[in-house]
A and B are shown apart, each in its own frame.
Chain A
Amino acid sequence: MINLKTPITEEDILKVKAGDVVLLSGTGVTSRDMAHKYMVETLIEGKEPLSPEDQRIYEELKKTLKDGFVYHSGPIVRQQDNQWKFISSGPTTSIRTEIYQHKVIKAFGVRVVIGKGGMGSLTLDACKKYRAIYLHGIGGAGVLNAEAVVDIIDVFKKEEFGLPEAIWKIHLENFTGIVTMDAYGNSIHEMISEEVKKNFEKLLLSGGNNI
């Protein structure tokens, strides 16, 4: 296993390869569908001047995401004595943010994208160009993954996006993931897809009315 800790350097990223199991620690944010749309369409590419609140969030994200991580996750959260806690939080399917992810990596200098199911060529190219990796979490293992979220530092857009879609600024301690897309252009997802496609073709040929 390889340990990665924010702030993550270009050198750190170049040390890991697709297939490596990583323990990630440090600060970043959860962001899923609505958050990615917001980051790109409002913060990065917005034509309108930003509201003071959006400007504040933009500045916060610039600081947090530089050499940090985004985590595709919509947690179950509990608030007790003014402190938030993740009760259950695992990665959600990443491909839905494919049209936005490369722009977020570029604009903020994100080093690690955490999710599940893998991403496409836009993200893979961005990982190569801007030195980032995609870390595949254990989907569905909500309680296990929540154990790695040791602190919730802040939350943005909670009322507007709702609890699962809000941007939670969190601190991770030894979050387990598998690097499936690295900064060298390797994607385990592409490899598996190729293999699955071949196996599928074979299964079609094995057909006939022999059931």
Chain B
Amino acid sequence: MNKDMNLRAIIETDLFYEALFNLIVATASELPGDVVDALKRAEDAEKESSVARLVLSRYLENLELARIKKAPLCQDTGIPLFFIRMQESLRRDIISAQINKALEEATRNQYLRPNAVDPITGRNSGINVGKGFPVLHFDYWDREYIEISLILKGGGSENVSCQYSLPYSELKAGRDLEGVRRVVLEAVKNAEGKGCPPGILGICIGGDRESGYLESKRQFLRTLNDTNPDPVLAALEKRILNDANSLWIGPQGLGGQSTLLGVKIGTLHRLPACYFVTISYMCWAFRRRSIKIGADGQYTIT
């Protein structure tokens, strides 16, 4: 099938558009397996007949309903963040146009809520396309396929994401990993129930203000059960996860042990004068799915 095709031709086809559409539908309606497993473990860990356990069981019930109905599991389908890995020779404008078309169609069919709002007029574009909307990140490689990851990030969790500049005297947080731990825990404390816990943190240590946010969001591409290859960061991730889960914020901020499902930390070189710690908060409805499309037009969604 499509033996004469190559990636350059593929991205212009309806097949590519359909693949993107299916990726959007899958992302909105079904969580990845690692997140579902983490939610089940969290439910098991909470006490019988506690509010925390009730909330978690409702989350899981909702996931099942959304999967069966192929309906958006949360009404806030957020801002679509696309991470695209492809050969450098492929045209970004074509891919971008296909993504926009798929977003518009998915919105018309109620797989996405229209979420692109003009900040001055308050007008909703109605199609999830607008200035800087969706967000696309391109990386290049030489492989014979394109990989596209989509994260739908809701507004509630985006509102509680934040960036600290160390030293941060209020917490006696210096420019070291203990300082990082302090500010991250404060961010979790301040978010309380507002980011829809149990949440997942993507953290960047270093970078400038812009690259810090991007790297913190790139951390969401990691699976919850992976291990950070840097043992220092792996230890810090574990420590922050354990600490945060002793805060007693719990599911929906109503108390309980399940405050976070995961902590993922990356680093970027920093300026001598700057030491930023950037924390992106992801809600429990961690919608992250990926698609691989080969030159033969075959694709798989994971």
Partner of A88, one of B74, B181, B249: B74
Partner of A211, one of B156, B185, B189, B236: B236
Give the nearest-CB partner of A94 in chain B.
Answer: B194
Measured between alpha carbons, how far is A209 from B156 in the docked complex, in Å?
Answer: 33
Is the pair A76, B182 in contact by a Cβ cutoff of 8 Å? no
Within 8 A of B (CB), among A117-151: 117-118, 136, 138-147
Within the complex, what minimum Cβ distance (angstroms) separates A165 from chain B?
8
A77-B110, A88-B71, A141-B74 known; A197 and B235 CB under 8 Å?
Answer: no
Within 8 A of B (CB), among A28-75: 34, 73-75
Pairs A-B, 4 closest by C-beta atoms? A162-B124, A141-B62, A144-B62, A88-B75
Is the pair A76, B113 in contact by a Cβ cutoff of 8 Å? yes
Q: Name the interface size band of chain A.
A: 35 or more
Within the complex, what minimum Cβ distance (angstroms) separates B247 from chain A?
5
Q: Name the interface size band of chain B.
A: 35 or more
Could you mark each residue 241-273 of chain B with 1 if its beta carbon is under 8 Å from any beta carbon of chain A, else 0?
001001111101111000000000000000000
Is the pair B159, A93 in contact by a Cβ cutoff of 8 Å? yes
Residues in B with CB closer than 8 Å to A145 are 62
Residues in A with CB closer than 8 Å to B58 are 138, 141, 144, 176
A118-B193, A164-B114 known; A140 and B185 CB under 8 Å?
Answer: no
Chain B interface residues toward A at CB < 8 A? 51, 54-55, 58-59, 61-62, 65-66, 69, 71-77, 110, 112-115, 117, 122-124, 126, 154-156, 159, 171-172, 176-178, 181-182, 185-186, 189, 192-194, 196, 232, 235-236, 239, 243, 246-250, 252-255, 283-285
Of A144, A189, A197, the most chain B CB neighbours within 10 A belong to: A144
Is the pair A76, B72 in contact by a Cβ cutoff of 8 Å? yes
Measured between alpha carbons, how far is A88 from B25 in the docked complex, in Å?
Answer: 14
Within the complex, what minimum Cβ distance (angstroms) separates B184 from chain A?
11
Measured between alpha carbons, how far is A170 from B192 in the docked complex, in Å?
Answer: 30
Measured between alpha carbons, how far is A193 from B193 in the docked complex, in Å?
Answer: 10
Is the pair A162, B284 in contact by a Cβ cutoff of 8 Å? no
Partner of A163, one of B124, B248, B284: B124
Within the complex, what minimum Cβ distance (angstroms) separates A73 from chain B?
7
Measured between alpha carbons, how far is A90 from B196 in the docked complex, in Å?
Answer: 11
Is the pair B115, A164 in contact by a Cβ cutoff of 8 Å? yes
Could you mark each residue 79-95 of chain A with 1 if its beta carbon is under 8 Å from any beta carbon of chain B, else 0?
00000000111101101
Measured between alpha carbons, how far is A207 from B253 in the docked complex, in Å?
Answer: 25
Given contacts A77-B110, A204-B185, 5 further A-B contacts (CB under 8 A): A74-B75, A88-B72, A138-B59, A139-B196, A189-B253
Measured between alpha carbons, how far is A117 from B61 in the docked complex, in Å?
Answer: 21
Is the pair B194, A140 in contact by a Cβ cutoff of 8 Å? no
Measured between alpha carbons, how far is A32 from B185 in the docked complex, in Å?
Answer: 29
Give the nearest-CB partner of B66 in chain A.
Answer: A143
Residues in B with CB closer than 8 Å to A140 are 59, 62, 73-74, 154, 196, 283-285
